[in-house]
Amino acid sequence: MSAAPAPLTVRDPRAAAFWDERFTRGFMPWDRGGVPHDLRDFAAASAPLVTLIPGCGAAWELAALCELGWDATAIDFSAAAVAHAQAHLGPWRDRVLLADFFTYAPATPLQLIYERAFLCALPPAMWPQVAARYAQLLPAGALLAGFFFFDSNPKGPPFGISQAQLDDLLLPHFDCLVDAAVSDSIAVFKGKERWQVWRRRTEVHGQ
Ligand SMILES: C[S@@+](CC[C@H](N)C(=O)[O-])C[C@H]1O[C@@H](n2cnc3c(N)ncnc32)[C@H](O)[C@@H]1O
């Protein structure tokens, strides 16, 4: 009889060590192992965009965007996540950087932030910081596109959000252009995630 795996020890998803432990142990229930259809369709219909993938994990989407000629960069503050991504990214491995989303400064002004399982990886108390950083990193007209996890579960990650909460976070800075059901979710997100595209608004003076 094989022994049960040792329990995970790090409990705080705000710490890189939390994610390091999960990548090192191969416990990644959020990992899609590929590129979601909605992102593929979005990218196929768009001109190349200077793109940031924050909290990229395995960064499956990075290669797909780079292969289309996009200037895409993926960042993660977990060294184990970065090593995991770099191991399968071949020619695009140098586009994965060890960096914290809250301090990372892009070399080129961004045109897109791609969101998947990053906002929901962080406790709700941190969401205003995440939204503020999205707004800070994206100039007027730039896009925030990706998958948002809607649920009312008290425990996470993933921490579910309501549309009203997401609106409170994003509407001060963004307009929602697209809100669509997702047809190819993996089990943890099935029926609870939506593909959304938000456009950064020009700041109104005094806001
Ligand atoms: C649930 S995983 C999602 C990974 C990937 N986006 C995906 O869809 O598979 C969340 C990721 O966010 C990363 N992360 C959390 N906080 C971060 C921060 N402040 N800066 C950069 N990465 C962060 C974690 O290390 C982890 O790899």
pLDDT of residue 204: 61
Q: What is the pTM of this model?
A: 0.96
Query: Residue 50 Cα, ligand 1 centroid: separation in angstroms?
Result: 20
Give the strand pairing for 143-149 and 112-116: parallel
Full set of structural domains in the chain with CATH:
31-200 (3.40.50.150)
Percent of residues, the chain, with pLDDT higher than 70: 97
Query: Residue 55 Cα, ligand 1 centroid: separation in angstroms?
Result: 3
Query: Residue 207 Cα, ligand 1 centroid: separation in angstroms?
Result: 30
pLDDT of residue 16: 98
Quote the mean pLDDT of the chain. 95
Distance CA 119, CA 114 (A): 11
3-class secondary-structure state, position 84: helix
pLDDT of residue 10: 79
Comparison of pLDDT for 154 and 55, the residue scoring more = 55
Measuring CA to CA, which residue among 197, 19, 30 is closest to residue 115? 197
Query: Residue 167 Cα, ligand 1 centroid: separation in angstroms?
Result: 22
Q: Whose CA is nearest to atom 27 of ligand 1?
A: 57
pLDDT range class, residue 133, cuts 50, 70, 90: very high
Q: If you average pLDDT over residues 41-54, what whole number do you get?
A: 98
pLDDT range class, residue 8, cuts 50, 70, 90: confident
* Residue 205 in this model has a pLDDT that exceeds 70: no
* Residue 38 in this model has a pLDDT that exceeds 70: yes
Residue from 53, 76, 102, 186 whose mutation best tests the ligand 1 pocket (most atoms within 8 A of CB): 76
Q: If you average pLDDT over residues 27-53, what whole number do you get?
A: 98
Q: Contact 195/178 with Cβ under 8 angstroms?
A: yes
pLDDT in tens, 52-107: 999 999 999 999 999 999 999 999 999 999 999 999 999 999 999 999 999 999 99
pLDDT range class, residue 117, cuts 50, 70, 90: very high
Q: How many CB atoms lie within 10 A of CB 181?
A: 10
Q: Is 110 in the pocket of ligand 1 (CB under 6 A)?
A: no
Residue from 38, 118, 134, 159 whose mutation best tests the ligand 1 pocket (most atoms within 8 A of CB): 118
Distance of CA 100 to the CA centre of its chain: 13
Distance CA 33, CA 39 (A): 14
Query: Residue 168 Cα, ligand 1 centroid: separation in angstroms?
Result: 22
